[in-house]
Amino acid sequence: MESNLILYNTLSRKKEEFKPLNPPFVGLYVCGPTVYGDAHLGHARPAITFDLLFRYLKYLGYKVRFVRNITDVGHLVNDADEGEDKIAKKARLEELEPMEIVQYFTDRYHKNMDDLNTLKPSIEPRASGHIIEQQALVEKILENGFAYESDGSVYFDVEAYNKEFHYGKLSGRNIEDLQANTRTLDGQSEKRKPFDFALWKKASAEHIMRWPSRWSDGFPGWHLECSCMSQKYLGDRFDIHGGGLDLQFPHHECEIAQSTAAYGHDPVSYWMHNNMVTINGQKMGKSLGNFITLDQLFSGDNDVLEQAYSPMTVRFFMLQAHYRSPLDFSNEALKAAEKGYKRLMNAVDSIKKITASDKSSVDVNALKEKCFAALNDDMNTPILISHLFEGVKIINTIISGKESIDKEGLEELTKLYNDFAFDILGLLPSEESNSGNNETLEKLVETLIEIRKTAKANKDWATADAVRDKFKEAGIEIKDTAEGVEWKLAN
């Protein structure tokens, strides 16, 4: 497993060589969605980032267990809603069972993820299915003296914890900073300190998502499920924990505290955070109401969208930026990505057309090395893609006859694009294809192309161009190349 993979660890704020605890096994946990609404462009970022990581680790030969949770218990909403459970609120508004909401949006989330060609996690646990485990974790933290009960709720005692460990190590904070800057929230009076957070919360009368416990009828705290389910499926020490940058504090900080309070040591070796997607320079977010859902993006059904963008365009767009950089949405940027993606896919497709020569004038191996180097450097996909475009130029030059490639090189080239573009970056071949998914259409087009050929032979350019123009109107593109006529469905 000599991969030389370097990953940026939020915990150390440095790039570090990746060394799994128990090679060849790798435990990967990523914070999944709260299923109370449709996934938006922002949700695609972690999904694609950690799908890439999952794919690359597997490519390198690791046996990866990838756990991504579904949050279906809900968390507190903002002050206007008086601390009501998000999912419960939505349920009441629509007069549905909470679990109907959860099912509906979970299904839609899965559909979006499939469209983006992300691999399914090994395990996708639900918070609601782990209430007992979460209660047990609360007990353990209580036993260890890092929590206290207050009027049916249980709170994490940050001050007590901070005497033995460092609360704030992940996000670079200290308890003094927090002291001054914590806002007044519902239930504050029950807490000893404003920065204490709930492990178990007593449900108010109107709160419909609730479970019995020895403290109260209530629901688990907002950070507990991840500590609990990561431990259950990956152990109390595991390799990588991922999520959005906005979860770094307080969510991941609390997770570390809870796990450490329960098991006495740090749970995670490498913390990874993807940056945000912005729109007009501002974070795309539910609460800001400036988000574009993935369904809208794929259908073009949103006022800010000038057109629809395919899932692969979106995926390519995201991969063209480094995962730790903010990425700004704009129609211009998406359109540029769409064209770039097509250019890449056209070239990959045309590798098939290359015939091998006796000797090679191109160095595929050097290109491959550069691709690995880029990926190993904290998954630098923009650099990787720039190398793939270098290869595009090579491919096209070979086809035009200015360069040549031998049999071995051609095999290597084919494998290179298969591995990097499809297996690792998770791109799909362009949907455009003339490989007959409709035999009737294919016959029809071929017939008309034959007629056009005759017209061309007779130098009847008007007829030839008319056929091509009409085809274009119908969404079929014709190209006259040295090898003959090519056609494909444009979409």
Give which of 347, 154, 185 is closest to 258, Cα–Cα: 154
**Total residues interacting with RNA, rule: CB under 7 A:** 88
Give which of 90, 80, 73, 89 is closest to 38, Cα–Cα: 90
Q: How far is CA 163 from CA 18, 132, 135, 174, 197, in A?
A: 31, 29, 24, 12, 17
- Taking CB under 7 A as the criterion, the residue among 20, 250, 409, 426 binding RNA is 250
Query: Does residue 382 belong to the site contacting RNA (CB under 7 A)?
Result: yes
- Taking CB under 7 A as the criterion, the residue among 10, 258, 320, 360 binding RNA is 320
- Taking CB under 7 A as the criterion, the residue among 117, 122, 150, 182 binding RNA is 182
Q: Which sign does the torsion angle of CA 459, 463, 465, 467 carry?
A: negative
Q: How far is CA 17 from CA 62, 243, 279, in A?
A: 15, 20, 34
Query: Does residue 224 belong to the site contacting RNA (CB under 7 A)?
Result: no
- Taking CB under 7 A as the criterion, the residue among 26, 43, 146, 272 binding RNA is 43
Query: Does residue 46 belong to the site contacting RNA (CB under 7 A)?
Result: yes
- Taking CB under 7 A as the criterion, the residue among 17, 363, 411, 480 binding RNA is 480
Residues 251-270 that bind RNA (CB under 7 A): 251
Q: How far is CA 438 from CA 127, 444, 484, in A?
A: 45, 10, 22
CB closer to RNA, 62 vs 452: 452
- Shortest distance (Å) from residue 91 CB to RNA: 16
Q: Collapse the DSSP code of 63 into the 3-class scheme (helix H, G, I; strand E, B; otherwise coil) and give the result.
A: strand
Tokens representing 115 are 């469209």
Distance, CA of 301 to chain centre: 22
- Taking CB under 7 A as the criterion, the residue among 34, 106, 134, 404 binding RNA is 34
Q: Which helix (H) or strand (E) holds 367?
A: helix 364-376
- Taking CB under 7 A as the criterion, the residue among 330, 433, 438, 458 binding RNA is 330
Query: Does residue 465 belong to the site contacting RNA (CB under 7 A)?
Result: yes
Q: Which stretch binds RNA (CB under 7 A): 169-177, 204-212, 228-236, 258-266?
A: 169-177
CB closer to RNA, 109 vs 215: 109
- Taking CB under 7 A as the criterion, the residue among 235, 340, 373, 428 binding RNA is 340
CB closer to RNA, 75 vs 315: 75
- 303 vs 292: CA distance, rounded Å: 10
CB closer to RNA, 25 vs 204: 204
